A and B are shown apart, each in its own frame.
Chain A
Amino acid sequence: MSDHEYVPKSKAGKWFNDRLPLLTLGSHLTDYPTPKNLNYWWTFGGILTFCLLTQIITGIVLAMHYVAHADLAFASVEHIMRDVNYGWLIRYIHSNGASMFFLAVYIHIFRSLFYGSYKSPREVIWIIGLLIYLLMMATAFMGYVLPWGQMSFWGATVITNLFSAIPLVGESITTWLWGAYSVDNPTLTRFFSLHYLMPFLILGLVVLHIWALHVPGNNNPVGIEIKKPSKDTVPFHPYITIKDAFALLMFMILFAGFVFFTPNVLGHSDNYIPANPLVTPAHIVPEWYLLPFYAILRSVPDKLGGVILMFGAIFILFVLPWLDTSKVRSAVFRPVYRQFYWIFVADVLMLGYMGAMPAEGIYLVLARVGTVYYFLHFIVVMPVVGFFEKTDPIPMSISEPVLSGGAEPALAKKDNDKI
């Protein structure tokens, strides 16, 4: 977003750029003025792009060997694991890659929640991000069905049955989704088709997400609007690219750790049993990244109510920019909200744990408490705290605290370290 018009140096470059300004785009991306105080929580956008590309590449390769048929799918996955050259590696990267993708996206979302990145003028970035998150969940769910193991089959049964809670048309919708009278071969083949399609829809939304980001520019840990370009910014390349690359390498070490040392720890052993429509596994759980929502679903003793609350837990995020009444973006300067933020983080983690436990006794009670608090945080805490909270003084610019050496910047610095 440099002010001067970009002109390619070479004659051929100029000829091409006049016809398709790709080089101008490249120049914009390279010079893109980025706040100079971005911390490592801002590196997850790049990490997520890496995750998406990894899933697409390994997925395309897996589709060359996988057979989408109820009688053959399970065997074809075992064929990939045992016979295909490096098939085990590619499948483990793909299956663990899904978990890594969600780990990164949750960090990315919670970063946004802490620093108020969803607030004006970045609401559209936030909403596109949530659409990506929804598509990710749909894609991951359908991918988990493809091996046609016990968890695949019964996970598909439970999730598709959520739609049967809709009054009047629920049963018809469920049958339509199945293409049969239960989860069966037609269900598997359409899930495979859609599982292949959706990552490319995500890719398209990622382009829009980044485009929408480049209009106002990045938020930053201090959460103030900055002049671009100015002494508060640095060019994206090489300053941000090198920081992103370092963070990505750290992330890849973790990723490789899962792939090579504990490739099945995030999965469920029951999925190595072929699908059996006559027997439901004794303890049926979704993948870890869906557990908080699963806990919300189970905490309601009413079918339709549970489904509504579960979807509501996601859809309430869409109106978050308008529920948050605070003018100050970053929680660094919001002493009260900051406490509630961490309570909320703990609440979501607790819900995740409750989702993995049987829905009875103390677990059920805690899941209900957690569910109520989840909604209270958005409906009550966010509007009310934003209204009454006395926020800390905000610096005039990113550079100012460093240059003037005041008291507030010390506070800002301390909190950045903690987060």
Chain B
Amino acid sequence: MSKEEKKVNRRDFLFTASYTVGAVGLGAVIWPLIDQMNPDKAQQALATTEVDISQVEPGKSITVLWRGKPVFLKRRTLDEIAEARAVSMDDLPDPQKDEERVKDGKDEWLVMLGVCTHLGCVPLKDKGDYKGWFCPCHGSHYDVSGRIRKGPAPKNMEIPKFEFVDNNTIKIG
């Protein structure tokens, strides 16, 4: 009896070991098939863009393409900056100070991804209830700091990594 039990146990072990090796092998085969869909080297190589901002007047903005997405570069007026900073944090669904969204000493330049955080449409400038941006797809309103104020979008428009190369050039990415 005990002899037979032992035999069964050894077979169980062999089964379990085989299944485990099989599962690892299957995973090793499936992973390349899944990972090939992630952004390739060529996509990753498009990671930085330099923008000449010398022609932008106060109150105006330009849009450039970075990684296939629009980036808004807005040169804000003093009034607009003051307005953005006067907003109470309690009125914001995604509380963030205007100061945290711009570079120190370059307060007039708002650089952000022109992508609605709801479902990825490009919001229209100088529209909506808060004088900032308005997304036509599902009605999200953003203020002059690009912060979400009303509508289905959950977050403020994203600030990409960027730096001032000199006074007239911004490098995004």
Contacts and interface: CB of A to CB of B under 8 A. Distances in A.
A162 interface: yes
Interface string A172-200: 00011111111110100010000000000
B153 A182 contact: no
B37 interface: yes
Contact of B40 (A154, A179, A183, A303): A179
Contact of B119 (A158, A176, A190, A277): A158
B131 interface: no
Interface string B77-104: 0000000000000000000000000000
B87 to A, nearest CB: 20
Main secondary structure of the interface of B (DSSP, over half): loop
Given A280-B122, A284-B121, A180 B43 contact: yes
A306 interface: yes
B27 interface: no
Contact of A280 (B37, B137, B152): B137
B70 A301 contact: no
Contacts of B40: 179, 186
Contact of B37 (A177, A181, A278, A279): A177
Contacts of A306: 152
B70 A179 contact: no
Interface in A265-288: 277-284
A278 B70 contact: yes
A183 B70 CA distance: 12
B105 interface: no
Q: Choose among B118, B122, B136, B137 the residue with the greatest number of A CB atoms under 10 Å from its CB.
A: B137
Contacts of B43: 179-181, 184, 186
B38 to A, nearest CB: 5
Interface in B97-152: 117-124, 135-139, 151-152
Contacts of B70: 277-278
A186 to B, nearest CB: 7
Given A180-B39, A186-B40, A278 B118 contact: no
B68 A298 contact: no
B65 interface: yes
Nearest to A284: B137
Q: Tell me if A's interface is mostly helix, strand, loop or mixed.
A: loop
Contacts of A175: 38-39
Interface residues of A, number: 37
Given A181-B67, A182-B69, A360-B139, A190 B121 contact: no
A358 B139 CA distance: 9
A233 to B, nearest CB: 48
A83 interface: no
Nearest to A159: B119
Contacts of A157: 119-121
Contacts of A178: 39
A278 B63 contact: yes
Contacts of A186: 37, 39-40, 43
A160 B43 CA distance: 18
B119 A162 contact: yes
Nearest to B43: A180
A164 B70 CA distance: 18
Nearest to A303: B154
Nearest to A157: B120
Nearest to A174: B120
Interface in B21-57: 34, 37-40, 43
Contacts of A162: 119
A75 interface: no
Nearest to B39: A180
Contacts of B136: 280-284
Contacts of A164: 119-120
A358 B151 CA distance: 13
Contacts of A304: 154
A306 B117 CA distance: 14
A182 B139 contact: no
A225 B52 CA distance: 76
Contact of A190 (B37, B39, B67): B37
Contacts of B137: 154, 158, 280, 284
A158 B120 contact: yes
A302 interface: yes
Contacts of A359: 138-139
A130 interface: no
A295 to B, nearest CB: 11
A161 interface: yes
Contacts of A281: 136
30 contacts: A154-B137, A157-B121, A158-B120, A160-B120, A161-B119, A161-B120, A175-B39, A176-B38, A177-B37, A178-B39, A179-B40, A180-B67, A181-B39, A181-B69, A184-B68, A277-B68, A280-B124, A280-B135, A281-B136, A282-B136, A284-B136, A284-B137, A298-B138, A300-B152, A301-B151, A303-B118, A303-B119, A303-B152, A303-B153, A360-B139
Interface of B: 34, 37-40, 43, 63, 65, 67-70, 117-124, 135-139, 151-154
Across the A-B interface, the 6 shortest Cβ-Cβ residue pairs: A182-B68, A181-B67, A161-B120, A161-B119, A280-B121, A158-B119
